[in-house]
Structure 1
Amino acid sequence: MSPIQLGGGRWLIVPPAATLILFFGVPLALVLAVSFATRGTYGGIEWAFTLGNYTSIADPLYLRIFWRSLWLAVLTTIICLVMGFPLAYVIARAPQRWQGILLFLVIIPFWTNFLVRTYAWMFILRSEGLLSTVLSALGLTHEPLPLLFTDTAVLIGLVYGYLPFMVLPLYAALERLDPSLIEAAWDLYARPLQVFTRVVLPLSKPGVIAGCVLVFIPSLGAYVTPDLLGGARSMMIGNLIQHQYLVVRDWPFGSALSFVLMAGVLAAVLYYLRAGGERGLL
């Protein structure tokens, strides 16, 4: 009998488990330990246990940043769902030869660096940018639109960046939808809204859950988009963490912020596992 048969193949899990522990578990434990330390006089870390880093998060300034991050992440997810669902439905119901082309158009932005695309949006949204120029030429505005460095600009950038993450899982769910079920609903004189709410939406729920999680998680921890499109007035959690690490040099407080952010992400993932894991998402 071979060693694999004797061990039941359990030894095969050792290399990936060791890699996970070494490159994820150890750094995570280190960040957790630092979050309970104190900041040195000139930066750095002093290993004196304190809960002050976590209690400091209750400061109204930081709570405002957390709420802004949560609000923008939720709003981004909702807008991506509203825009992505009809787009995914059109792709799923398109002729087979067109589905590949339409999916290609959805993912083609990924061929360009995310930073370059964000800079392009800065050019579009600035006061003398493309959007303001076009609206002025059409007579819709009489003065430049101050969109850049606002929450609106951040929201536009987040929706643009993460919309494909909503479309792809929705397409995967809708593509498996049996058209005969929709036809049966029409035969029973169901209204369009009833067909959507009682047939299409329930059967596409796994794709909806997966898309919402894939959009909400990166939106909550976004850094580049709010930094370039929002500036200091639209700071999000990711920017606050970067500021604590690289500018203020308060690593313990930055670590505490990171763990609070991870708690929010973990809550979203657990909801995904609970609500969608038994429906074929995993």
Structure 2
Amino acid sequence: MTHGTRNLLLLAPAGTWFLVMLLLPLTVVLIFSFGERGTSGGYAPAFVLDQYANLPARWTAFKNTLTLAPIGTLASLVIAYPLAYYLAVKVDPKWKTTLLVLVIVPFWTSILIRSYAWIFLLGGRGLPALLDWVGIEDVRLINTPFSVLVGIIYGYLPLMVFPIFVSLDRLDKRLLEASSDLGAKPWRTFLQVTLPLSVPGVATGCMLVFILLMGEFLIPALLGGGKVFFVGNALVDLFLQSRNWAYGSAVAVALVVVMLITVTIYMRFINRLGVNREDVSMV
């Protein structure tokens, strides 16, 4: 058996799974997007562009998604990085596992239950009532972009923490000691050594969170109260409520195209950072 044949056999299971579970469904959605809504809902075969021409009708959902998904990703990064840095660099090794378990404890319960907990906390009997008690009146938190953003950060923070933690935990601590011995201040060591070497973890965490947020629908539905729609909410409405599968497929294809463009631009930016980091290290 040749080396090429052996590699082909090893890749065959994953390749088959990828073809059946990803490419075929996307192909079906693409075909549906050129069809029409049936008389009683669903899909009627056709080849028209009417569904794509009607995409601006869902602009609000796209705008909310393309606004809150990047903001939620960036906010998660800002919160997760110090936590991951503390766990990887500052904490005694014997406590790392315990603290990491505490980070993933929220994942042990359903996102539905956790979202309902935030509905109470951000509702009239939660934080607004506490603010009213201290003299800050008429504060509305629930059913706003802010409440959706809070739910996003809470729900996806562990997915940002772990890649960054792994990247920082593998960091050679001798590099930090060498930087300190050469007279660099802590902030300079962080900017020139720690941060550049943790870029792979940051890139992975941002990618995971951003891609999942682009398809999110539960958090906006519960914490947005029907006032903050994501594309995921629009898809649920089109496929399950309106039963307009053709239009829903066109919206889904548009979302995939937007994600591909965004991810491509992001990866090129990350690759350039990698080149710059290598150039700096060589100097």
Q: Superposition pairs for residues 141-180 of structure 1, below 5 Å?
A: 141-143=136-138, 145-180=139-174
- Does 1 or 2 have the higher relative contact order (CA < 8 Å, sep 6+)? 2
Where 1:38 maps in the other structure, the secondary structure is: coil
Is 1:69 the counterpart of 2:52? The answer is no
What displacement does 1:146 show? 1.6
Counterpart residue identity of residue 69, structure 2: A
Deviations, residues 218-250 of structure 1 (Å, cap 9, x unaligned): 112111000000022100110011111112221
1:98-113 alignment to 2 at 5 Å? Answer: 98-113=95-110
Moved more, 178-187 or 206-215: 178-187
Question: Separation in 1 of the partners of 2:34 and 2:150?
Answer: 37
Task: Give the alignment's Cα RMSD to 1 decimal.
Answer: 2.4
CA 1:136/1:33 → structure 2, altered by over 3 Å: closer, same or farther?
A: same
The equivalent of 2:49 in structure 1 is 51
Conserved? CA contact 2:35–2:43, under 8 Å? yes
Secondary structure of the equivalent of 2:227? helix
Name the CA distance, whole Å, in 1 between partners of 2:63 and 2:184: 41
Specify whether residues 105 and 244 from structure 1 end up closer, same or farther in structure 2 by C-alpha distance, changes over 3 A only.
Answer: same
Once the two structures are superposed, residues 87-124 of structure 1 have per-residue CA deviations (whole angstroms, 9 ceiling, x without a partner) of 00100021110111110110111111111111111111
In the alignment, structure 1 residue 201 sits paired with structure 2 residue 198 = no
Deviation at 1:183, TM superposition (A): 2.6
Partner of 2:280: none
Comparing 50-59 with 117-126, greater Cα deviation is found at: 50-59
Matched, 1:78 2:78: no
Counterpart secondary structure, 2:224: helix
Q: Does 1:258 align with 2:252?
A: yes
Greater Cα shift, 13-22 or 35-44 = 13-22
> Is the CA contact 2:60–2:229 (under 8 Å) kept in the aligned structure 1?
no
Matched, 1:116 2:110: no
Which sections of structure 2, spanning at least 5 residues, go unmatched?
Answer: 275-283
Amino acid across the alignment from 1:110: F
Counterpart of 1:39 in structure 2 is 37
- Residue 105 of structure 1 aligns to which amino acid in structure 2? L
Mapping for residues 221-236 of structure 1, pairs under 5 Å: 221-236=215-230
CA contact (8 A) 1:37 1:47 kept: yes
Normalised by the length of structure 2, the TM-score is: 0.87
Do the aligned residues in 2 keep the contact of 1:209 with 1:276 (CA within 8 Å)? no
How far apart, CA to CA, are the structure 2 residues paired with 1:15 and 1:177?
A: 34
Which shows bigger deviation, 29-38 or 178-187? 178-187
Q: Distance in 1 between matches of 2:250 and 2:4?
A: 45
- Identity over the aligned pairs, expressed in percent? 39
Amino acid at match of 1:47: P
Letter in 2 for 1:125: L
Offset, 1:270:
4.1
Gaps of 5+ in 1: none
Instruction: Name the count of aligned residue pairs.
Output: 272
1:277 Cα deviation (Å)? 12
Which of 82, 85, 89 matches 1:89? Answer: 85
